[in-house]
Amino acid sequence: MVFGDPNSQRDDFNRPRDRVPLREDPPFRRFDERDMRDEMARERELEEMVRADDQRRMNDAAAARFEAAMRELTVDDLREMVNNSNIRVTSGGRISSRRPSGRDVIRRSGQFTMQGFDLPVKKPRKKNKKHCKNLSQCLRQANAELRTKKGSLRKGKTQADVMRRAQRLLRKMK
């Protein structure tokens, strides 16, 4: 039974009209999409040509309307129109108010400005203290005393013993 058709029978599902037609296979679909794109491009070009033709015809009439509108304005109106960013004059001579765009609103709010924003100060590098230099000399000496010529620790000695010896040498150095 075909969904939504009360008169259909169980075998109606296998009729050719319910099967996927051959043209819906991917290779044919690509040709259809290409044809549709070409057709849409042609329509777009035709619309552009018609719009350009209308624009040329409107230019003369619009220029006359604009000049007539400008004659009616006073100097104060013109000054207001030039200085006010919310007033817009269209090519047809119509004077309308313009709502500020989202970008204009954000710029005026000052919320995202970088003025007065201090950049993080680069910290000066930590210089080694004198005792660090002395400690490294003491470590060198302690390692020489507590290690064999091959470099392994002497029997019964640990790295902790090396550090203890180095710190004892450092105290003697002071």
In a domain, 154, yes or no: yes
- Are 25 and 54 in the same domain? yes
pLDDT of residue 128: 72
pLDDT bucket at 19, cuts 50 / 70 / 90: low
pLDDT of residue 62: 73
**What is the extent of the structural domain holding 37?**
1-61
How many domains does the structure of the chain reveal? 3
How much is the average pLDDT of 99-125? 79
- Are 7 and 54 in the same domain? yes
Report the C-alpha gap between 116 and 119 in whole angstroms.
9
Report the 10 Å Cβ neighbour count for 148: 9
pLDDT of residue 24: 55
How much is the average pLDDT of 23-30? 56
How much is the average pLDDT of 31-40? 79
7 bridge partner residues: none
Summarize pLDDT for 113-149 with one digit per residue, the tens: 777 777 788 888 887 777 788 899 999 999 999 999 9
In a domain, 118, yes or no: no
Q: Are 19 and 10 in contact (CB under 8 A)?
A: no
In a domain, 124, yes or no: no
In a domain, 168, yes or no: yes
Residue 166 has pLDDT above 80, yes or no: yes
Residue 4 has pLDDT above 60, yes or no: no
Torsion angle, CA of 21/26/30/32, rounded to 10 degrees?
10
In a domain, 77, yes or no: yes
In a domain, 120, yes or no: no
The tokens for 142 are 């302690």
Q: Are 91 and 66 in contact (CB under 8 A)?
A: yes
